[in-house]
Structure 1
Amino acid sequence: MANEPTKTSMYIETTSEGVENGPHSKKLDDDGRPKRTGSLLTASAHIITAVIGSGVLSLAWAIAQLGWVAGPAVLMAFSFITYFTSTLLADSYRSPGPVHGKRNYTYSDVVRSHLGGYKVQLCALAQYGNLVGVTIGYTITASISMVAIKRSNCFHEDGHDAKCSISNYPFMVGFAVIQIILSQIPNFHKLSWLSIVAAVMSFAYSSIGLGLSIAKVVGGEREKTSLTGTTVGVDVTGSEKVWRSFQAIGDIAFAYAYSTVLIEIQDTLKSPPPENEVMKKASLAGVTTTTIFYVLCGCIGYAAFGNNAPGNFLTGFGFYEPFWLIDFANVCIAIHLVGAYQVFAQPIFGFVEDHCKQKWPESKFINAEHAYQINFFRLVWRTTYVIVTALIAMIFPFFNDFLGLIGAASFYPLTVYFPIEMHIAQAKIPKYSFTWMWLKILSWTCLVVSLIAAAGSIQGLAHDVRKYEPFKTE
Structure 2
Amino acid sequence: MEKKQASYGKGAARMAPMEVSVEAGNGRESDWLDDDGRPRRSGTVWTASAHIITAVIGSGVLSLAWAIAQLGWVAGPAIMLLFALVIYYTSTLLAECYRSGDPETGKRNYTYMDAVRSYLPGTKVKLCGVIQYANLVGVAIGYTIAASISMRAIGRADCFHYHDVRGRSGKDECKSSSNPYMIVFGVVQILFSQIPDFDQIWWLSIVAAVMSFTYSTIGLGLGIAQTVANGGIQGSLTGLSVGPGVTSMQKVWRSLQAFGNIAFAYSYSIILIEIQDTVKAPPPSEAKVMKKATGISVATTTVFYMLCGCMGYAAFGDAAPDNLLTGFGFYEPFWLLDVANAAIVLHLVGAYQVFCQPLFAFVEKWAAARWPDSAFIARELRVGPFAISVFRLTWRTAFVCLTTVVSMLLPFFGDVVGLLGAVAFWPLTVYFPVEMYIVQRGVRRGSTRWVCLKMLSAACLVVSVAAAAGSIADVIGELKEYRPFSG
TM-score class normalised by the smaller sequence: over 0.9
- Alignment correspondent of 2:53: 48
Kindly provide the amino acid, as one letter, of the partner of residue 354 in structure 1. K
Is the CA contact (8 Å cut-off) linking 2:26 and 2:36 kept in structure 1?
Answer: no
Q: Which amino acid aligns with 1:306?
A: G
What residue number does 2:118 align with? Answer: 113
Q: Closer, same or farther in 2 for the Cα pair 1:405/1:57, shift >3 Å?
A: closer
Separation (CA, whole Å) in 1 of partners of 2:280 and 2:214: 29
Deviation at 1:400, TM superposition (A): 6.7
CA contact (8 A) 1:131 1:348 kept: yes
Q: Is 1:96–1:114's contact at 8 Å kept on the other side of the alignment?
A: no
**What's 1:385 paired with?**
399
Shift of 1:378: 1.6
State the Cα deviation string for residues 163-205 of structure 1 (Å, max 9, x = none).
Answer: 1121222222211111111111121111111001111111111
Query: Where does residue 21 of structure 1 map in the other structure?
Result: 27
% of aligned pairs identical?
A: 60
Match of 1:5 in 2: none
CA contact (8 A) 1:52 1:290 kept: yes
Question: Is 1:453 aligned with 2:463?
Answer: no
Please, which moves more after superposition, 294-303 or 74-83? 294-303
Paired position in structure 2 for 1:468: 482
1:402 shift after superposition:
3.4
Could you tell me which amino acid in structure 2 is paired with residue 432 of structure 1? G
1:62 matches 2:72: no
1:19 Cα deviation from its structure 2 partner: 7.2
- Give, in angstroms, the shift of residue 61 of structure 1: 1.2
Would you say the 8 A contact 2:258–2:418 is kept in 1? no
For residue 171 of structure 2, what is the amino acid of its counterpart? A
Q: Residues 70-469 of structure 1 correspond to what in structure 2 (within 5 A)?
A: 70-158=75-163, 159-163=168-172, 164-222=174-232, 224-233=234-243, 236-272=246-282, 273-372=284-383, 373-398=387-412, 401-469=415-483
From the superposition, tell whether residues 371 and 135 of structure 1 become closer, same or farther in structure 2 (CA, over 3 Å): closer
Q: Does the CA contact (< 8 Å) of 1:114 and 1:425 recur in 2?
A: yes
Provide Cα deviations, 1:352-411, integer angstroms capped at 9, x if missing partner.
Answer: 011111122222221233453432222222122112221222233347733433432221
1:252: Cα distance to partner? 0.9
- 1:101 and 1:240 mapped to 2: Cα distance? 51
Kindly provide the amino acid, as one letter, of the partner of residue 345 in structure 1: C
Secondary structure of 1:378's match?
helix
- Partners of 2:287 and 2:26 lie apart in 1 by 24
CA–CA separation in structure 1 for the residues paired with 2:417 and 2:338: 26
CA distance in 2, matches of 1:338, 1:326: 18
- CA 1:395 to 1:303, structure 2 compared with 1: closer, same or farther past 3 Å? closer
- Residue 97 of structure 1 contacts residue 426 of structure 1 at CA under 8 Å; is this kept in 2? no
Q: Which runs of 4+ in 1 moved over 6 A?
A: none
1:472, distance to aligned residue in structure 2 (A): 1.5
Distance verdict in 2 for CA 1:397–1:235, change over 3 Å = closer
Structure 1 runs not aligned, ≥5 long = 1-16
1:118 partner SS: helix
Amino acid at match of 1:387: C
Hey, what's the Cα distance between the residues in 2 that align with 1:414 and 1:292? Answer: 24
Q: Which amino acid aligns with 2:465?
A: L
Query: Does structure 2 retain, via aligned residues, the 8 Å contact 1:66–1:245?
Result: yes
Aligned partner letter, 1:363: S
Which digits, 9 at most, give the CA deviation of each residue in 1:295-342, with x for residues without a partner?
A: 111112111211221222223433222211111111011111000000
How far 1:63 moved relative to its partner? Answer: 0.9
Equivalences, count: 456
Conserved? CA contact 1:235–1:307, under 8 Å: no
TM-score (ref. length: structure 2): 0.90
Tell me if the contact between 1:222 and 1:306 (Cα under 8 Å) persists in the aligned partners.
no
CA distance in 2, matches of 1:205, 1:179: 21
Range 261-270 or range 213-222, more displaced: 213-222
Query: Is the 2:26–2:37 Cα contact (8 Å) retained in structure 1?
Result: no
Against the structure 1 CA distance between its residues 43 and 247, is the aligned structure 2 distance closer, same or farther, given a 3 Å change threshold? same
Tell whether 2:47 aligns with 1:37: no
- Higher mean alpha-carbon deviation, 457-466 vs 380-389, is at 380-389
The one-letter code of the counterpart of 2:313 is Y
Determine helix, strand or coil for the equivalent of 2:122: coil
In structure 2, do the counterparts of structure 1 residues 151 and 219 end up closer, same or farther at CA, with 3 Å as the change threshold?
Answer: closer
Amino acid at match of 2:184: G
Contact map agreement 1:209 1:314 (CA 8 A) in 2:
yes
User: SS at the partner of 2:367?
Assistant: helix
Q: Distance in 2 between matches of 1:399 and 1:289?
A: 24
Q: Residues of 2 paired with 1:106 and 1:138: CA distance?
A: 22
Cα-to-partner distance string for 1:189-227 (whole Å, 9 max, x where unaligned): 111110011111111111001011112223453354221
RMSD over aligned CA atoms reads: 1.8
The 1-side partners of 2:171 and 2:226 are apart by 26
Q: Confirm or deny: 8 A CA contact 2:322 2:414 kept in the other structure.
A: no
TM-score, length basis structure 1: 0.92
